[in-house]
Amino acid sequence: MTQVSPQKHFDILIIGSGAAGLTLALRTADFARVAVLSKGELSQGATFYAQGGIAAVLDDEDSVDAHVSDTLTAGVGLCHPDVVERIVEHSAESVSWLVDQGVPFTTIDGSDPRTGSLHLTKEGGHSHRRIIHATDATGKAVFETLKARALAHSNIELLEGYTAVDLITQPTAEGADRCVGAYVLNQATEAVEVIRCKFVALATGGASKAYLYTSNPDGASGDGIAMAWRAGCSVANMEFNQFHPTCLYHPHAKSFLITEALRGEGGTLELPDGTRFMPQFDEREELAPRDIVARAIDHEMKRLGCDCVYLNITHKPAAFVREHFPTIAERCLEFGIDITKDRIPVVPAAHYTCGGVVVNERGMTDLTNLYAIGETSFTGLHGANRMASNSLLECFVVAFAAADDIAARFDRTTLESALPAWDASRVVDSDDEILVSHNWDELRRCMWDFVGIVRNDERLQRARRRIDLLQEEIIDYYQRHRVTNDLLELRNLVLVSSLIIDSALQRKESRGLHFTLDYPEMVTEPTDTLLRP
């Protein structure tokens, strides 16, 4: 017998509570009832942990053309120039909006950001100081500010402890499908509920949890990408997984990121014996794009057989270090590392998914009324390698555009009166959860070993065979058991891992974040890797 699922309804359902999701909520809540869904606490998205900042053209010595040029260079021939130009042109507008919201950005003289001059720092790939930041905890400052605004808005409902299961689609009169809602797991009641809405936005972040070592929080399991694919949306450039060069290497640190801004302020990378090595790999040294720095570290670790390399900023005054990097200094001190006196042990870790769900300039996917924003999406901005601090910028600019598009379509879009209930009549509670945890570990180790920083076809084919077997096991298990948060994340991760491998096998060259020993050169006319269901 089919169970009756509880049904909620809103005008807009936003799945994900980071910068992109909260921005879209705030930009639409004046004319729509909005629900923001979060798997755990609202702060468990990647935004909260972002240390660096937001790239924007605010300095008289900088220019839109220079920012665009830097982005195109970092993207190694795969950025879409029109997209880069549009997003960079709106960078100052985004920062101005955030200042108006009350984000406590760092200023030159410590004054109020609304009246003072914002302090700008520099990160890898940038030719000018253009990174707006709140000390070394920008993401937290942005999140806390937007969260407070959302909590205060009567038209926004924040739903914590809800995991999206799948999107619900229905055919239109013209024959195309449109998104009309989603099935969501209420973790408190363990029941799958139905949410009806006019519009759905996927703002679930990336899929770096597919890898054994990652800087991302536990929820980065590619949920939005997987749900969109199952609903019929295209994805692109999934082979470009950015590995942040410098995560704290410590058994109890759980992938704590060491911001690139530390290198921007003079930090150097060293081997265990104190020798610098980046000058051998790139003339930009420590401020080379992340793919180059990550590969250099990976190369030196394998060459020497060492567990990590070291990031050194001890040559800077202690007061300067503590003032600019208070979060890092405090966190490292918890592990007995005084960054004013000691070098920081670091390793690369999976950090950012440059590919994602294909969207247009307004953030809409192939599916009518379904949007994807932030790291979940593929806009064409990042190309083969995301430049530092462009990701938060993309969140705001595309969320603004999506909000404008929703506003324009709002009155002529109808809300369905009822949707099919979730059918749990043929499933049972699991009596063997070890399968989920075992396959989770095997999946992530397989991806790290065979689909990591340096690849070849043999490794990719080995990963392909193993992931296919895992996917069969996981889908069979999913079909026979009641859903849990862990099972849903595993189901999404194995699908996204499969998409990453398929994309990597299609690219017969080395470019940006995709480096393969079998095809070390770049082709002369690169194209995006587009996958369709």
Q: Three-state SS string across 230-299, please?
A: HCCCCEECCCCEEEEEEEECCCCCCCCECCCHHHHCCCEEECCCCCECHHHCCCCHHHCCHHHHHHHHHH
Dist. CA 387–CA 125, nearest whole Å: 6
| Chain center to CA of 268 | 26
Active-site residue (options: 86, 130, 196, 290): 290
Task: Report the candidate in 136, 177, 140 with the shortest Cα–Cα distance to residue 51.
Answer: 136
The strand ranges marked E within 315-379 are 344-353, 356-358, 370-372, 377-378
Q: How far apart are CA 495 and CA 227, in angstroms?
A: 10
Q: Are 416 and 170 in contact (CB under 8 A)?
A: yes
290 is catalytic: yes
Is residue 206 within 8 Å of residue 46, measured between CB atoms? yes
Residue with tokens 């720092």: 121
The H or E element spanning position 327 is helix 326-334
Residue 348, token pair as written in the block: 């690369």
How many angstroms separate the CA atoms of 222 and 228, rounded? 10
Q: Is 207 helix (H, G, I), strand (E, B) or coil?
A: coil
**Token pair of 279 as six digits:** 């000058």
State how far the Cα of 365 lies from the Cα of 371, in Å rounded to an integer: 5
Q: Which residues are known to be catalytic?
A: 290
